[in-house]
A and B are shown apart, each in its own frame.
Chain A
Amino acid sequence: MTMVGERRRAGRVLRYLALAGYVIFLGFPLVWLLSTAFKPPRELVRLHPTLIPIHPTTENFVQAFTEQDLGRAALNSLQVSLASAVLTVLVATPAAYALTRFRSKLGTLALGWVLLSQLFPFVLLIIPIFLVLREVGLANTHAGLVLIYVVWSLPFALWMLQGFVRNIPLELEQAAAVDGAGRLQILRRVVFPLLAPGLVATALFAFISAWNEFFFALVLIKTPDLATLPVALARFVGIEGTARLGPLAAGSLLATLPSLAFFALMQRRLASGSLAGAVKG
């Protein structure tokens, strides 16, 4: 075998080793979460835990959702996230349409704000927002939280929807206008059907942002019964003993499912980078 061939083969082996390293680093913590979620208490307090549960159980899931009130928190999260998703789409769609079809300085300003607002730490926003919401009696309510989430996902939703609107050929709308369709009719018959995938994507994005959000929920919601899932889980961490890790892992696993489903749906677009920046870390 030639020298070059040998070197190439060595390079290939190295590459596979590196890839394996990445898979282990990224994947192992997830396997551990899965394993912990299915372990009975006795195995959790063992001096040397095993990777695969010896007597797997689903008891942790039941326990997490009955004893720790994670069930209620999950319902709260579902409510808040659904409301945020619907409102975001309702509010963003007309604006995205207007911004794309009628260029205006306001649009440029709004988009500039998207970038600028990334720069500011939440603490500058949260105190005044907290004061405003308290003023109008919306602090410590789901409605207040939904308002914040809508505003928070609006900039990106607008940006995303504009892309979808731009993909609808203007000629289609013009043709409908020539055929005598009114503006509203054009919107309803031509624009909305073609925009449907964009609306779904935007709704999902808003849903996930709200579902995952922690900081605002932590500060704005004081009543334990109103807490969203991330806040409830974070509280749960505080009271852990080793035996409580099972239910904690089970709850965490379930909290991840909606966004996992979203990412599975969006995988292709994400991998191609067209939605890069969609979900802030």
Chain B
Amino acid sequence: MTVLAEREDVERSDPGRRPAVARSDRLGVYLLLLPSLAPILVLSVFPLVRGMYLGFTDARAGRNVDVHFTGLANYRELLADDLFWNSFKVGLLWAFGVTALQFLLALGLALLLNEQLRFRGVARVLSLVPWAMPPVVVGILWKLVYHPDAGLLNEIFHRVGADGLRANWLGDFSTALPAVIIVGVWAGMPQTTVVLLAGLQGVPTELHEAAAMDGAGSWHRFRQVTLPALAPVIVTITSLDFIWNFNSFGLVYVLTAGGPGGKTMLPMLFAYEEAFRYGNYGYAAALGNAMVVIVVALLALYLRRRLREA
């Protein structure tokens, strides 16, 4: 039933103010678009609207449950929920930590790859591999690296005679979050590097040459020429990275499933548990809504500051 309703919307939403396309052609265009737009409406737009609405109800799992509109009750409950505040804090630490480290490391690598260095090709290919891996496999891979007994990291510390540094990286309260942040950086760095590298290659070489003529050192040239030219790319990719990181799920689910003791309980993991372990659909959706509001607010702040600087 909803399918039909949505379809009518497709046809109505364009009043056809384009005289350039003949009427018969316009019908043809709609026929070409329909197979794409109908599924997007039914399985993306409509669920999203309904999902946002669920955040204002007491929806629960089960087939014959009455759903009531409860207004802001879910949000009052969220504000009083210590577990929510914990996951919110973990989520911010994770998203800021991963995004910032990702950016700095990716910028360094992109600058190196942009120069005439030997073995550049090796680094370039290697930097793409993490991108090609399914998130679940990245999680497993790093579980092997962090493994307390059979892991690479502890073995390295043993070999260099620093046995005191050996730890149960993912199981210990103090190391779990930093450990998963490193994995997040590793997994997301390639994409950021590629984008920044493309941006660097767009910086006009004449500018560099002119600055070099004026006697500017490489650090100076980087600050005065490269960075300003790269600014739009930087703003875009860090914003996207932040959104992706804040909403990420699979990686940490495999690594720690939110443990130990909720130390790595990202908001998405918390919402997943609420929805599919405890069946609190309404509450989980409310959490999703809260996340959207938070991300949008943070992005607005960030973009406004950037725009003012520019």
Residues of chain B within 8 A (CB-CB) of A18 are 108, 112
Q: Is B64 part of the binding interface, using a Cβ–Cβ cutoff of 8 Å?
A: no
CA distance A152 to B48 in the complex (A): 13
CB distance from B128 to the nearest CB of A (A): 6
CB distance from B147 to the nearest CB of A (A): 7
CA distance A45 to B151 in the complex (A): 11
Q: Is A167 part of the binding interface, using a Cβ–Cβ cutoff of 8 Å?
A: no
Interface of B is mostly: helix
Stretch from B31-39, B75-83, B220-228, B301-309 contacting the other chain: B31-39
Q: Is B162 part of the binding interface, using a Cβ–Cβ cutoff of 8 Å?
A: no
Q: Is B262 part of the binding interface, using a Cβ–Cβ cutoff of 8 Å?
A: no
Q: Is B133 part of the binding interface, using a Cβ–Cβ cutoff of 8 Å?
A: yes
A121 pairs with B129, CB closer than 8 A = no
Q: Is A65 part of the binding interface, using a Cβ–Cβ cutoff of 8 Å?
A: no
Could you tell me how many residues of chain A have their Cβ less than 8 Å away from some Cβ of chain B?
98
CA distance A215 to B134 in the complex (A): 12
Residues of chain A within 8 A (CB-CB) of B179 are none
CA distance A121 to B275 in the complex (A): 13
Residues of chain A within 8 A (CB-CB) of B129 are 26-27, 30, 260, 263
* B188-203 contacts to A (CB < 8 Å): 188-189, 191, 194-195, 197-199, 201
* A129-B43 contact in complex given A98-B33, A245-B150, C-beta closer than 8 Å: yes
Query: Nearest chain-A residue to B1 (Cβ)?
Result: A135
Q: Is A226 part of the binding interface, using a Cβ–Cβ cutoff of 8 Å?
A: no
* A113-161 contacts to B (CB < 8 Å): 113, 117-129, 131-132, 147-148, 150-152, 154-155, 158
A33 pairs with B108, CB closer than 8 A = no
A243-281 vs B, Cβ < 8 Å mask (1 yes, 0 no): 001001100100110011011000100111110110111
Query: Nearest chain-A residue to B98 (Cβ)?
Result: A281
Could you tell me how many residues of chain B have their Cβ less than 8 Å away from some Cβ of chain A?
108
CA distance A229 to B133 in the complex (A): 13
Residues of chain B within 8 A (CB-CB) of A150 are 39
Query: Nearest chain-A residue to B52 (Cβ)?
Result: A124
Q: Is A104 part of the binding interface, using a Cβ–Cβ cutoff of 8 Å?
A: yes
Residue in A123, A245, A272 whose CB lies within 8 Å of B288:
A123
CB distance from B210 to the nearest CB of A (A): 20
B140 pairs with A128, CB closer than 8 A = no
* B240-254 contacts to A (CB < 8 Å): 240-241, 243-244, 246-250, 253-254
Q: Is B84 part of the binding interface, using a Cβ–Cβ cutoff of 8 Å?
A: no
Which of B105, B120, B198, B292 counts the most chain A CB atoms within 10 A? B198
CB distance from A101 to the nearest CB of B (A): 9
Residues of chain A within 8 A (CB-CB) of B40 are 110, 113, 151, 154-155
Residues of chain B within 8 A (CB-CB) of A155 are 40
Q: Is A212 part of the binding interface, using a Cβ–Cβ cutoff of 8 Å?
A: yes
Q: Besides the contacts A29-B141, A121-B246, what 15 more A-B pairs have beta carbons closer than 8 Å?
A: A26-B126, A32-B141, A48-B155, A90-B35, A98-B33, A105-B13, A124-B51, A125-B48, A126-B51, A127-B275, A127-B284, A128-B46, A237-B140, A271-B194, A277-B191
Which residues does A use to contact B, with CB under 8 Å?
A: 11, 15-16, 18-19, 22-23, 25-30, 32-33, 36, 44-49, 51, 90-92, 94-95, 97-99, 102-107, 109-110, 113, 117-129, 131-132, 147-148, 150-152, 154-155, 158, 183, 211-212, 214-215, 218-219, 229-231, 233-234, 237, 242, 245, 248-249, 252, 255-256, 259-260, 262-263, 267, 270-274, 276-277, 279-281
14 A-B pairs with CB atoms under 8 Å apart are A26-B123, A29-B144, A32-B145, A36-B150, A48-B155, A102-B29, A105-B13, A105-B14, A106-B14, A126-B275, A214-B253, A233-B136, A245-B147, A279-B131
